Amino acid sequence: MGVVETTKMRARRVVEALELPLGQIIAGDCIEAMRSLPDACIDMIFADPPYNLQLGGDLNRPDGSHVDAVTDHWDQFADFATYDRFTRAWLTEARRVLKRDGSLWVIGSYHNIFRVGAAMQDLGFWLLNDIIWRKANPMPNFRGTRFTNAHETLIWASMGEKARYTFNYQAMKTLNDELQMRSDWVLPICGGQERLRKGGTKVHPTQKPEALLYRVMLASTSKGDVVLDPFFGTGTTGAVAKRLGRQWIGCEREADYREAAMERIEMALPLDESALRTMQSAKTAPKVAFGTLVETGMLAPGTRLFDRKRKFKASVRADGSLESGPHTGSIHKLGAVLQQAPSCNGWTFWHVEQGGELMPLDALRQTYLLATEP
């Protein structure tokens, strides 16, 4: 009987997936777009709604140059009451399309996150965590009138106090070099080649770094899950979902953003199946977790690592664990197992090949620290 039920459930999941616009961006207002989706069809929602910044006029640096702040019409609301009605409307649809064991992530700044959080609680969501994304390289306060705003807040919520939800605890611990992942995440803002530009101008003023979505998705979804982003923008959610073997649906009313997002996602490379298998085990931690190099893209999952004499080799997996034949573990644990030693400093033991030469992982770590120095 149990086998029959499982088969039926799998068949139903396949049918549901066929009915969904997977890998597509639904054009138009997010509320109307979500209304086109069936009930309880989404595993996880990541929402980056308008912040309602209430900026008065342009923002300039001390040298007079203009700052690309959020002055677009989509971030402008007549008053707080208007913004609150909008928030309740999209959250209501989000709750309808989420599965009973699904979860919701919302990111915001001090301008809006408290209002959004209250609305979430009013609608029955159960807050699991508030995550502080501390920006390793924040924009300074040019006017010198306040503290530098160096973080944003993410709220992670389930469908109710007793609701089940996905949390890949061990994957998060492995990503953080075998320490429990904390609720303060230090990650750089989007920049460099990752930042989409057109004619020298940012395509989107608040493009989120892929490392942030990588951690969110790895923590709270499983391979094959359907992730919805109601404020899709330039497609960070879609690009990371493709890399991690998740399905995605986006909602976006701005045609320029939709075009940029699809171009970006088409270029994103999905990870190898073996790299997507996540860890089930444990050990130590330095100031920079090995998983940070993976989620920020400095070291791609699937990369081959070697010891200095090339006697041992291993491949990097999506959660920062390594795999070598039948053995898996953190960079430290696997190095120790392969050498049959009581311990191992994985940062100096493992090397990555660059330009035909081997470079210790510690060199990559130092490069990351220099790149993200405030």
pLDDT tens profile 139-169: 777 677 889 889 999 999 999 999 999 999 9
Q: How high is the pLDDT of residue 2?
A: 42
Q: How high is the pLDDT of residue 366?
A: 81
Spatial CA neighbour of 91 closest among 120, 52, 114:
120
Q: How high is the pLDDT of residue 349?
A: 96
3-state secondary structure the chain: CHHHHHHHHHHHHHHHHHHCCCCEEEECCHHHHHHCCCCCCEEEEEECCCCCCCCCCCCECCCCCECCCCCCHHHCCCCHHHHHHHHHHHHHHHHHHEEEEEEEEEEECCCCHHHHHHHHHHCCCEEEEEEEEEECCCCCCCCCCCCCCCEEEEEEEECCCCCCCCCCHHHHHHHCCCCCCCCEEEECCCCHHHCCEECCEECCCCCCCHHHHHHHHHHHCCCCCEEEECCCCCCHHHHHHHHCCCEEEEEECCHHHHHHHHHHHHHCCCCCHHHHCCCCCCCCCCCCCHHHHHHCCCCCCCCEEECCCCCCEEEECCCCCEEECCEEECHHHHHHHHHCCCCCCHHHHCEEEECCEEEEHHHHHHHHHHHCCC
Structure tokens at 11: 């068949």
pLDDT digits (tens, 9 = 90+) for 264-280: 898 887 877 767 766 43
Question: Mean pLDDT, 10 residues at a time, over the chain (374 residues)?
Answer: 48 61 95 96 96 59 48 67 94 98 96 96 98 87 82 97 94 88 90 70 75 95 96 93 95 91 86 64 54 92 95 95 95 95 93 90 83 63
Spatial CA neighbour of 38 closest among 22, 19, 24:
19
* pTM for this predicted structure: 0.72
What are the angstrom distances between the C-alpha of 60 and each of 54, 68, 73, 110, 141? Answer: 16, 9, 19, 21, 10
Cα 113 to Cα 64: distance, rounded to the nearest angstrom: 31
Q: How high is the pLDDT of residue 44?
A: 98
Structure tokens at 76: 């402008």
Spatial CA neighbour of 319 closest among 166, 174, 182, 184:
174
Cα 39 to Cα 313: distance, rounded to the nearest angstrom: 47
What are the angstrom distances between the C-alpha of 164 and each of 119, 139, 158, 159? Answer: 21, 38, 7, 8
Q: How many CA atoms lie within 13 A of 19 on its CB side?
A: 13
Structure tokens at 217: 């998705």
- Is residue 183 within 8 A of residue 132, CB to CB? The reply is yes
| 174: number of Cβ within 10 Å | 32
Q: How high is the pLDDT of residue 309?
A: 92
Burial readout 79-113 (b: 16 or more C-beta within 10 A, e: otherwise):
eeeebbebbbebbebbbebbbeebbbbbbbeebbb
Q: How high is the pLDDT of residue 283?
A: 35
